[in-house]
Every structure is written in C-alpha cells, then in structure tokens.
Amino acid sequence: MDIELRSFFEMLADRCDQVGSSLCIGLDPDPLRIPRYLGSGPEAIYKFCAEIIEATADLASAFKPNAAFFESIGVEGLHVLDQVLRLVPPEVPVILDVKRGDVGSTAKHYARAAFERMRVGAVTVNPYMGFDAVEPFMEFEGRAVYVLCLTSNRGALDFQLQEDLYLRVARRVGEWNHMGNLGMVVGATRPQFLSSILAISPDVPLLIPGLGAQGGDLEQIMEAAPGLPPHHLLFNVSRSILYAASDKSFGHQARVAARQYSKLIADAREKVARAP
C-alpha cells in the first residue's frame, strides 16, 4: 500500500515492527550545543540534523522535530525545517512538535501549515482551549494528533496535577477519538499516573517523552502498561542521543546512543511480557 494512503498510526505500527522497538528520536538542534566545527547559523543546523538522520534513521520508529529550535534562528529556520523534513526516509513517520492550541479559525491554519505545507504525519496540540482547538487537526485524513495530557516538566504541578485535570483531559481525548487519530503525550517522569490514564482511555496511543536527560523510568512505564502494542508506547529521546558527543564523532555516537535506547526499550518490553 502507498505510504500516503496509510494512516499515521498504521505506518507507525509497521515501523515499530520493522525496527523491533518504539524509539522516537527528537530533533532539537540547539545552536549552543551542536559541534562547533559545523559553524553557526541555518547551515550548521541543517548539517547537524542531516548527519543525525543519516546515522540513526534505520533505528528510529519516528522522528520528532521541535519547531521552536528552527524558528528561533529566524525566517531561515523555517526553510531549514522544510529541508530537514525532506531528509527523513518516507517509511519513517514524523511528528512535528509544535504544541499548538488556539481558537478554531486559527487552528485551521496551524493544521494546514503542518499537514499541507510541511506534510508531516502528526503534530502535538495543547487542549487548554477545548475541542475547537483540536478538531481542525483531526479533520485531516490519515494524520494524527497527540494531545498534551500529563507532561514531564516540573510545571505540570501547576495545573495538570491539580484536581486531576490530566484525567479529565484523558477522558475527553477518549471521547473525541471517534476517528481513531488521537494520541496523548504522557511524560515518562510520572509513571505512577499512567495506570489511571489507561483505565480511562485504554485505546489511545501514547507519546512518552522524558527518558534520558529527564530521568524517566522506562521499566515502571512498561509495568503500568502491559500488553499494549509498541506503537501505543512511543518513547521519545532527544538530548541523550543528539548530544552524545560534541566533536566530529557526534553522528556515530548518536547512533550508538540510539541503538542503546532502542535495546533498552525492547528489553523492558520483553521483561514485562515474561513476568508471571
């Protein structure tokens, strides 16, 4: 079947099976951390991402470029982002991390930018403004929307964990998911809350940031979600792969780190599956 005709989650499921893991590699090119020999500015960002993609694409279940790291270098950054997206092999799904969330009339344009112009498979969306901020993204056939539910940052304590707001989000996402193209973002740093989320919306795939530099607990996540298919637990790792080295070996070392995380994810899944 043509890649363009498959839904994002079908494509992601196939890719996870193909690589034997569910590792999503975040593309967060910080100009202050990329190897100095690459130079500076848009060209350096492009060269950095190009080498990371070339070194790790066969290990990645998905790539997740964060638009902010491209936008911050100016208007040229959007051009670089477009070029970087073109480097990703067509069989590897792409999630554009933009965390959009605005009124419906504005959200329609954000959705068009992501799905028609950049042609990514999925985006991240903030649900704070309600269904009309999410719906325009859902209307694109075959594309997926990861809704922020419980994030891995400290600021989650300010709202998400107050009066179980994250559970209300999980419930709404389950109710909205009549087209089967919604997912949720749930941080790996809060595995103790995952069971309650899955109890409310068991069929919604999860994008799980927070492994690596943020110290998320992979094994606890797996134990809280036994039996879920790999594409329902997509683990994103960014800094620990991108910045595994700061010299000319950075591509090779990124590959080593990506292989290690891929194996850790696969091993943790197998361990939980073997448990009585």
Residues noted as catalytic: 99
Strands of 118-158 (E only): list them: 122-125, 144-150
DSSP β-bridge partners for residue 234: 207
Report how far residue 48's alpha carbon sits from residue 36's, in angstroms, rounded to the nearest whole number: 10
- Give the ranges where 201-246 is alpha helix by DSSP (H): 218-224, 239-242
Residue partners of 218: CB distance under 8 A and separation at least 6: 188, 211, 235, 264, 265, 268
Q: Which amino acid is at 110?
A: Y
Cα separations in angstroms, 248 against 51, 96, 253: 10, 27, 10
Give me the sheet containing 206-208, strands edge to edge: 62-65, 23-27, 233-237, 206-208, 182-186, 144-150, 122-125, 95-100
Residue partners of 36: CB distance under 8 A and separation at least 6: 246
Following DSSP, what letter does each residue of 15-64 receive, concatenated?
Answer: HHHHHTS-EEEEE---TTTS-GGG-SHHHHHHHHHHHHHHHHGGG-SEEE
